[in-house]
């Protein structure tokens, strides 16, 4: 029997995330299952449950060839993935260039594409470029942050040139958080710059039909909440802040999105790796070696998963999708094998008892939505 996504923009509350009713075959692979989201302009964004995050295609931590990047994207497409996210930051333009080269071969109406604004890339001497030790074999560029109206418009135009495409579906302001700018004061200044200028640019692009949706892409739910309270953004790409390990965003941010009909895309579902590797020596958490308390908590979560015969990474990848505001989850992949691994994780049946045991053990918040868990498939609601 098909399952019905009970999603209608006419509902009086925003629990529907502004999504429209849609019949989805329960036999379709989860990664390719559609989770449509309707933006404030009424345009439907046809997300697949699994997306593709392109930071690794920007030679993050190690260089890969153009051929490997193309083959990885090709595998994602073959597996039914139709949402692709990129940004000027990733490889200082390299990821956008590689993604555009691949997507130009695909029917434009068959996929959803997002990129980000707020960073301009200025030419510089190779020794002066940003990202040394993080991005390898990339263009010599220096990052200039600019969240003003003109800066956002310029950033968006330059992304068009790197992508070589005629349409971008979603434009997200990138990294106005403490993690990027180093202090709460610096983050507040950048947030004010965006609220005073950049959001007007994004709103103009949306109202003119240049993009279908606008929003924010950051590592922290707190600044996302500030923007959600002060704008009519459509979507938030939140990296690592609603995962099997972290659910603090349930306090206020995710309920706010639910009330306002805003959607959330979950990046970093493995919290930089530890939810994929488990609590082994050298495991990474939030871009750094995991502290002992995190290692202990992950080990306990892993033990519950093992008791149910479910790999930790499978539970981690599926968990966020059970929240009604979550439209999509975007793990990174650098090889076709990693893509297939993500797809396999998305399609493993997970018994409802696993989630219940995590709650009873105090390892998962009791207010975390678990609807659809009994079927092993996360449905939008």
Q: How confident is the model at residue 370 (pLDDT cuts 50, 70, 90)?
A: very high
At residue 29, the pLDDT reads: 74
142 within domain boundaries: yes
At residue 343, the pLDDT reads: 95
273 within domain boundaries: yes
At residue 373, the pLDDT reads: 39
- The sign of the CA dihedral 22, 27, 31, 32 is negative
Q: How confident is the model at residue 143 (pLDDT cuts 50, 70, 90)?
A: very high
Instruction: Check which CATH number belongs to the domain holding 189 and give it.
Output: 3.20.20.100
Mean pLDDT confidence for 51-78: 97
At residue 32, the pLDDT reads: 77
At residue 28, the pLDDT reads: 53
pLDDT for 338-347, tens place per residue? 999 999 999 9
Indicate whether 33 pLDDT > 50.
yes
328 within domain boundaries: yes
Indicate whether 11 pLDDT > 60.
no
14 within domain boundaries: no
DSSP state letters, 160-181: HHHHT-S--SEEEEE--SHHHH
Q: How confident is the model at residue 336 (pLDDT cuts 50, 70, 90)?
A: very high
Strand partners, 238: 218, 266
Mean pLDDT confidence for 230-246: 97
2 within domain boundaries: no
pLDDT for 150-194, tens place per residue? 999 999 999 999 999 999 999 999 999 999 999 999 999 999 999
Mean pLDDT confidence for 53-60: 96
Arithmetic mean of pLDDT over the chain: 90
294 within domain boundaries: yes
Q: How far apart are CA 262 and CA 213, in angstroms?
A: 10
Residue 101 to residues 54, 112, 137, 296, Cα–Cα distance (Å): 13, 15, 18, 43
At residue 333, the pLDDT reads: 94
Indicate whether 131 pLDDT > 60.
yes
Q: Are 356 and 89 in contact (CB under 8 A)?
A: no
Considering its fold, how many domains does the chain have in total? 1
50: which DSSP letter?
Answer: B
List the alpha helices (DSSP H) in the chain.
66-78, 94-103, 149-163, 178-181, 184-193, 199-207, 221-230, 253-260, 274-277, 292-307, 312-318, 336-347, 352-360
Between residues 30 and 1, the one the model is more confident about: 30
pLDDT for 89-104, tens place per residue? 999 999 999 999 999 9
Indicate whether 358 pLDDT > 90.
yes
Mean pLDDT confidence for 219-245: 97
Q: How confident is the model at residue 287 (pLDDT cuts 50, 70, 90)?
A: confident
Ramachandran area for residue 190 (φ above 0: left; ψ -120 to 50: alpha; else beta):
alpha
Expressed as residue numbers, the domain containing 188 is 36-375
pTM: 0.89
357 within domain boundaries: yes
147 within domain boundaries: yes
Q: How confident is the model at residue 15 (pLDDT cuts 50, 70, 90)?
A: very low
Q: Which residues are marked as active site? A: 85, 90, 116
At residue 31, the pLDDT reads: 73
Percent of the chain with pLDDT over 70: 90
Between residues 51 and 1, the one the model is more confident about: 51
Indicate whether 124 pLDDT > 70.
yes
Mean pLDDT confidence for 256-275: 96
């Amino acid at each position: 029997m098909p399952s019905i996504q009970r999603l209608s923009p006419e509902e009086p509350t925003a629990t529907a995330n502004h999504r429209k009713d849609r019949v989805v075959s329960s036999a379709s692979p989860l990664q390719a299952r559609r989770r449509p989201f309707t933006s404030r302009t009424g345009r439907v964004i046809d997300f697949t449950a699994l997306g593709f995050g392109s930071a690794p295609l920007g030679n993050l931590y190690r260089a890969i060839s153009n051929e490997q990047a193309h083959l990885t994207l090709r595998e994602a497409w073959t597996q039914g993935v139709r949402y692709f996210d990129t940004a000027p930051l990733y490889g200082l333009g390299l990821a956008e260039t590689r993604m555009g080269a691949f997507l130009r071969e695909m029917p434009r109406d068959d996929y959803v594409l997002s990129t980000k604004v707020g960073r301009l890339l200025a030419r510089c001497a190779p020794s002066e470029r940003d990202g040394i030790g993080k991005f390898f074999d990339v263009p010599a560029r220096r990052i200039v942050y600019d969240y003003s109206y003109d800066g956002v418009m310029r950033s968006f135009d330059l992304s068009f040139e790197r992508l070589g495409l005629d349409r971008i579906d979603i434009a997200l302001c990138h990294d106005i958080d403490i993690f990027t700018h180093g202090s709460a004061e610096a983050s507040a200044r950048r947030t004010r710059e965006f609220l005073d200028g950049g959001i007007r640019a994004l709103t103009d692009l949306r109202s003119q039909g240049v993009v279908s949706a606008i929003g924010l892409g950051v590592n922290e739910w707190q600044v996302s909440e500030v923007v959600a309270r002060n704008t009519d953004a459509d979507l938030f790409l939140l990296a690592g802040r609603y995962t099997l390990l972290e659910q603090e965003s349930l306090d206020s941010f995710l309920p706010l999105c639910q009330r306002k009909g805003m959607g959330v895309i979950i990046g970093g579902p493995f919290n930089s790796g530890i939810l994929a590797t488990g609590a082994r020596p050298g495991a990474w958490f939030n871009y750094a070696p995991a502290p002992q308390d995190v290692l202990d908590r992950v080990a306990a979560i892993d033990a519950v998963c093992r008791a149910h015969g479910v790999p930790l990474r499978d539970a981690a990848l599926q968990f966020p999708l059970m929240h009604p505001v979550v439209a999509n989850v975007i793990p990174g992949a650098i090889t076709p094998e990693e893509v297939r691994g993500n797809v396999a994780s998305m399609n493993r049946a997970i018994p409802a008892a696993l989630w219940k045991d995590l709650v009873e053990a105090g390892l998962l918040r009791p207010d975390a939505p678990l609807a659809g868990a009994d079927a092993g498939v996360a449905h939008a609601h």
